[in-house]
Amino acid sequence: MGSVMHNQEEQGGGYLSGLNNEQRDAVESLDGPVLVLAGAGTGKTRVLTTRLAHLLNTGRAYPSQILAVTFTNKAAQEMKERVSGLLGGMPVEGWWLGTFHSLAARMLRRHADRVGLSSNFTILDPDDQVRLLKQIMEVEGIDTKKWVPKAMMGVIDRWKDRALTPERVGADEAGELAEGKLHKLYETYQARLRAVNACDFGDLLLHMITILRDPNDQSVLQEYHQRFRYIMVDEYQDTNVAQYLWLRLLAQGSKNICCVGDDDQSIYGWRGAEVGNILKFEKDFEGAKVIRLEQNYRSTNNILKAAHAVIANNEGRLGKELWSEAGDGEKLTVKGLWDGEAEARWIGEEIEQLQRQGKALSEIAVLVRAGFQTREFEERFIKLGVPYKVIGGPRFYERLEIRDALAYLRVVAQKADDLALERIINTPKRGIGNATVQTLYAYGRTYGICLHDAIIDLTQTDELRPKMKSTLMKLMDDFERWRSLVGSMDHAELAAQILDESGYMQMWKEDKTPEAPGRLENLKELISGMQEYDSLPEFLEHVALVLENQANSGGDFVTIMTLHGAKGLEFDQVFLPGWEEGVFPSQRSMDENGLKGLEEERRLAYVGITRARKRAYISFAANRRMYGSWVNSIPSRFVEELPKEQIEIETELGLAGNGRSSHWDSSGLAPKVQKRQVHERKVMNEEGEVFERGMRVFHDKFGYGKIIYIDGHKLDIAFDKAGKKRVMDNFVEKAD
């Protein structure tokens, strides 16, 4: 086979032609460990596929002797097609090409008996995993509301990412999670999986690592050492500990392992990726050859120099500097604006200008650090009639938590809105099940009244259980009280109050899943956005129009997505908004991971800048409205790291300079919040006594308490012993 294929190359296969010197070196360096540091836009995919074709074409290996690992099935399929194309359309069969999970599953089916499974084992999906763990937690008597099974499953998944079997998990690893029983739960969970002949995705690699490093039987490891003459790995910077160990074990045979990746684009630490894997490659594989691909075929030199100036501030990197033959191109635009609304307006105007110049909307992207940032741009584009799509997630007003919050506001605005009331009647959990809701609907249909009125009627009867009656009565009282505040209270403050008092915000605060912080940010952004409208009805009407507008999805559209989602993509024009301390770099990331978190945020900035082919626009705002309060911001440290030679800075008139200011706390990490003045409502009773919110009072029946809300002459009071009650102002007196 080797000589035939070799002759084919000599006759002009030509797959090596067109490669630059470094690319060719990466393709032809077949022996020993090789690390290809492939910067953004340097032709990484071409090198990978050409190297595979070269291995086959030169007769170095049969397809079955090559292990090629990708991160997605799509990437594996594309690689297969491209290699076949390079070999003149010859089908390539029998090789081990796929994702970590698919390849590990293929291996495990052959050796399942060594870990107590049969070869026909089932692979559980994430929902089944959570369901199984919940069952185990309930048997152990662990409160699944306090210790959310999905969150606990997330911890177990992280252990598996680190190749930690139950016996390898230290006592301090679990801490107080699940009442200090998470380690035991992990053991039981693994035993239950074996009992039903199943495993989860994490087990595929975990079990294979256990088999491959079995000290009493090395026959399986030796079998794969003999089988795989060459190993190739894509996106090596995104590997976790388990993936790394699996690869190291397999590579101990031939030592012919080639890893392709970019340490400057390692941005998935939050899901277990270890940038250290690529940084210590030369230490792990003695005699490793490192090849740097630095010629960029995507961007202009100004873009590349700006990206390099930022990433050069990271200490944990191997070092490379991209360059291009495409010329310097336009400088990066750095724009300072007064507030978030002005930022959205400016980006909208720039996009309209690009349209007038004949630029396609499909070549324009707005890349944000966090999902909550999309709202302002979505609303601006709708006003301008600029088609757009949010990639990688739902549009702002279509997100679950936003729809829930809007449902609360709709019921306050219109009590006959049955669909909205049904949506949140048991969110958060109040013990109101489907059977109760159906009873309420049946009554409503019989008498031709809405769900709200049906509840009011039935709570005056004995049709419902006493506990259910009191729950529903409290909910209706809450809605009535919130309704009474419409018009007399700032509608954004009222929305914040509703989400707080209903327990909805608390529900997400207590939720330990990775999505919860983002949902809270979105809710805060919703409340901030309400400030732009004069009233609650006006805001709800606006949302209805927005949702109706979103049904229109044309062909050419602006892309809105997060920086994480944009990795691997490229656009002619890229807008990078929200470059402020606390937003980007993310305060949460720095708080949780310190310097390691900051360096990953900087790599994210590098990824953002290098998505641009022709032009990049970076913007920051001096003020952000967050949760009803104005926050004074300062430009991101990443803005300060941009080289002056490659940027053009524009700031709005009256905007402060770039230095850290009195608006920031002593650490320079967190903004001081400038609270808005809240009007304290007061009421005077018939005796002329004035009561106001926050005042201590005394009631003959309920004792001492504090006024929390005032509705006419009705006072909501949090009593020290009796809890929250609503009483008339004539029945209380000021406490001494």
Catalytic residue annotation? 44-45, 234-235, 265, 611
Single-letter amino acid code for the residue at 365 = A
Q: Among candidates 336, 386, 394, which has minimal Cα distance to 365?
A: 386
Closest CA to 693 of 514, 493, 411, 443: 493
Residue 204 and residue 472: Cα distance in Å, rounded? 48
Alpha carbon distance 731, 712 (integer Å): 14
Orientation angle between helical segments 241-251 and 100-111, nearest 10 degrees? 60
Cα distance from N-terminal residue to C-terminal residue, the chain:
99
Q: What is the DSSP letter of 580?
A: B
Asked whether 585 and 310 are in contact (CB, 8 A), the reply is no
Whats the size of the chain, residue-wise? 736
Q: How far is CA 735 from CA 146, 342, 682, in A?
A: 37, 49, 16
- Can you name the residues that pair with 697 across neighbouring β-strands? 705, 734
Q: Which residues of 259-273 are buried (b: 16+ CB within 10 A; e: fewer)?
A: bbbbbbbbbbbeebb
Q: Within a 10 A sphere around the Cβ of 199, how many other Cβ atoms?
A: 22
> Under a CB-based contact definition with an 8 Å cutoff, are residues 559 and 388 in contact?
yes
Q: Do 203 and 160 meet the contact criterion of CB atoms below 8 Å apart?
A: yes
Kind of pairing between the strands at 629-632 and 364-368: unpaired
Q: Which residues contact 385 (CB under 8 A, 6 or more apart)?
A: none
Q: How far apart are CA 10 and CA 616, in angstroms?
A: 44
Q: Kindly state the DSSP code that residue 701 receives in the 8-state scheme.
A: T
For residue 555, count other CB atoms closer than 10 A to its CB.
7
Residue 563 in contact with residue 578, Cβ under 8 Å?
Answer: no
Task: Give whole-number Cα distances, 405 to 78, 376, 429, 448, 505, in Å.
Answer: 42, 18, 15, 27, 10
Angle at CA of residue 202, ends 200 and 203, nearest 5°: 65
For Cα atoms 475, 477, 480, give the angle at the middle one, nearest 5 degrees: 110
